[in-house]
């Protein structure tokens, strides 16, 4: 029997949490997740794909029905995987100009590391590095091309009024960010 998750009328991160719980209840198979807004559709789809599931989305009269297919998986420990969390558009405290120079140098240096981070998460003032006017956009695009996931906090982008100015990476929610931060080694900048 197909499991159904009715997350219509729920704000994020609730649809993601409901989907996560439904996926945890099955070893393999299909669940149907119903949401009624674009943000929930994007966040649930992204979560399911990151969890190794296949996702098929169908739009139906202002709603989205997502068929999520979970396959039996073998747990793969990624003990050497890490993410970088950037909380400011400057590196360190002190002189602002120096902090911006150091941040650019840090991001350039990440491109040269033998072991690249699995992702870079930008939160709080750090989201400004992924938006119009940032001096590191091209460097972040290169990192994306190398397989590094570039993630900006949607709440932070909204708070600073720069969501429409995002030039690189994807928008995520605090649930997904917290999940990455609790499952991978974190390097905080």
Only one residue has tokens 């405290």, namely 93
Q: Which residue has the tokens 């990624």?
A: 78
What's the Cα-to-Cα distance from 76 to each of 50, 52, 79, 80, rounded to whole Å?
14, 12, 9, 12
156 flagged as catalytic: no
Q: Using an 8 Å Cβ cutoff, are 126 and 87 in contact?
A: yes
169 DSSP assignment: S
What is the distance, to the nearest Å, from the Cα of residue 29 to the centroid of all Cα atoms in its chain? 25
Strands 63-70 and 29-35: antiparallel
Out of 12, 53, 153, 156, pick the active-site residue. Answer: 12
Hey, which residues are catalytic here? Answer: 12
């Amino acid at each position: 029997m197909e499991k159904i998750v009715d997350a219509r009328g729920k704000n994020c991160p609730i649809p993601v949490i409901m989907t996560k719980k439904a996926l945890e209840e099955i070893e393999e198979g299909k669940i149907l997740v119903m949401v009624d807004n674009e943000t929930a559709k994007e966040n649930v789809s992204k979560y399911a794909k990151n969890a190794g599931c296949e996702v098929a989305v169908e739009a139906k009269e202002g709603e989205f029905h997502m068929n999520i297919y979970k396959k039996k998986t073998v747990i793969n420990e990624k003990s050497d995987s890490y993410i970088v969390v950037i909380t400011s558009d400057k590196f360190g405290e002190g002189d602002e100009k120096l902090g911006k120079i150091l941040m650019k140098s840090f991001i350039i240096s990440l491109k040269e590391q033998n072991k690249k981070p699995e992702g870079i998460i930008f939160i709080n003032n750090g989201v400004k590095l992924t938006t119009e006017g940032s001096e590191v956009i091209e460097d972040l695009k290169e990192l994306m091309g190398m397989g590094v996931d570039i993630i900006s906090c949607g709440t932070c982008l909204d708070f600073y009024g720069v969501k429409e100015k995002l030039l690189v990476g994807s928008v995520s929610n605090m649930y997904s960010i917290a999940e990455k931060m609790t499952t991978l080694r974190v390097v905080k900048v």
